[in-house]
Amino acid sequence: MKYELVCGLETHVELSSKSKIFCSCRTDFGAEPNTHCCPVCIGLPGTLPTLNAEVVNLAIKAGLAVNCEINTVSKMDRKNYVYPDLPKAYQISQYDLPLCKNGYIELGSGRKIRIERIHIEEDAGKLVHKGGDIYIDYNRGGVPLIEIVTAPDIRSSNEAKEYLEKLQLIMRYIGVSDCKMQEGSMRCDVNVSVRPENSNVLGTRTEIKNMNSLSFIVKAIEFEQKRQSQIIEKGQNVVQETLRYNEELNFTESMRSKEDAQDYRYFREPDLVTISTSRETIEAIK
Ligand code: ADP
Ligand code: ZN
Ligand code: MG
């Protein structure tokens, strides 16, 4: 039997604001480690975030450019998880009220890839593995991001590539981001499932985390499509899990399974007020 690919992309794009999302530290890439940091972005107790208005404006601009509706009321939420790149042990993100929703990017074929939401959030720091040791650079912590989440509308690795190239071109053109995949200012989580060709129910998906090369995204999707098709062909079930793509050997490997899936215990960020965006502001950005 032939199996159809179903793919949805979650793309992180770093915004080109000069300062970070909740403090006045600089955002430029490539500085000496841990020089663009302050008590707010390294999460010292007693510090409070202040939302950078430029970040909200850039995110609205991004949303409008990909045909989104802008929510006139949205809010920030705490996403709790413990990892050394996140000194506060939570990331300030948006959960149930993202800034933008219901957009799309149209491909050359005329097919529309729906964008479910775009939310703003802070980036985490970066772990650097060197000579068996792990170092940490907090310069990236608090750099503003948007996350652009598509519906599971992508049906081939080529469509994924075309969608990402278009997204990159649009974000660069409107000056929202430089979208340099090799510098990590555009990164992708790739969700993949397969199903019999004439089916319209979704199969079990896997999620390949943190990809930053178009050609490897194409290879990873193709690998995963084949792997999952073979599992189903054998009468077995695909396991829902988070995967890492091995670039040297071209295969996907497990990072964590659904059983230890994270419960982020989202709650409203108490230190920030609701974001209200007036119709006039949205019109002005258009
Ligand atoms: P999360 O990854 O946080 O659980 P969602 O469930 O909203 O979030 O899905 C994230 C992404 O996975 C979206 O881009 C969505 O289109 C895609 N996705 C969801 N279900 C499937 C599926 N069965 N096959 C492929 N992609 C899927
Ligand atoms: Zn700072
Ligand atoms: Mg995800």
The stretches of the chain forming alpha helices (DSSP H) are 53-65, 157-173, 214-233, 279-285
Query: CA torsion angle for 146, 85, 37, 53 (degrees, to 10)?
Result: 20
CB 183 within 8 A of CB 163: no
Q: List the chain pLDDT tens, one digit each, 286 residues.
A: 789 999 999 999 999 999 999 999 999 998 999 999 999 999 999 999 999 999 999 999 999 999 999 999 999 999 999 999 999 999 999 999 999 999 999 999 999 999 999 999 999 999 999 999 999 999 999 999 999 999 999 999 999 999 999 999 999 999 999 999 999 999 999 999 999 998 999 999 999 999 999 999 999 999 999 999 999 999 999 999 999 999 999 999 998 655 455 689 999 998 787 888 888 889 998 8
Tell which residue, 138, 145, 142, 137, has the closest CA to residue 119: 145
Ligand closest to CA 42 = 2
Q: What is the pTM of this model?
A: 0.95
CB 100 within 8 A of CB 70: yes
Q: Could you tell me if the CB of 205 is within 6 A of ligand 1?
A: yes
Q: How far apart are CA 202 and CA 191, in angstroms?
A: 12
* pLDDT given at position 263: 84
Q: Which of 205, 237, 262 is the best mutation target for the ligand 1 pocket, counting ligand atoms within 8 Å of the beta carbon and taking the most?
A: 205
CB 211 within 8 A of CB 187: yes
Spatial CB neighbours of 279, under 8 Å, sequence gap ≥ 6: 72
Q: Pairing state of beta strands 90-93 and 126-130?
A: unpaired
Which neighbouring-strand residues pair with 146? 13, 120
Give the Cα-Cα-Cα angle 125, 129, 133 (nearest 5 degrees).
Answer: 115
Q: How far apart are CA 87 and CA 104, in angstroms?
A: 35
* pLDDT given at position 135: 96
Other Cβ atoms closer than 10 A to 215: 9
What is the Å distance from ligand 1's center to 163 Cα?
A: 16
Tell which residue, 157, 152, 158, 154, has the closest CA to residue 222: 157
Instruction: Locate the ligand 1 atom nearest the alpha carbon of residue 191 and give its number.
Output: 26
Q: How far apart are CA 8 and CA 214, in angstroms?
A: 15
Q: How far apart are CA 154 and CA 210, in angstroms?
A: 18
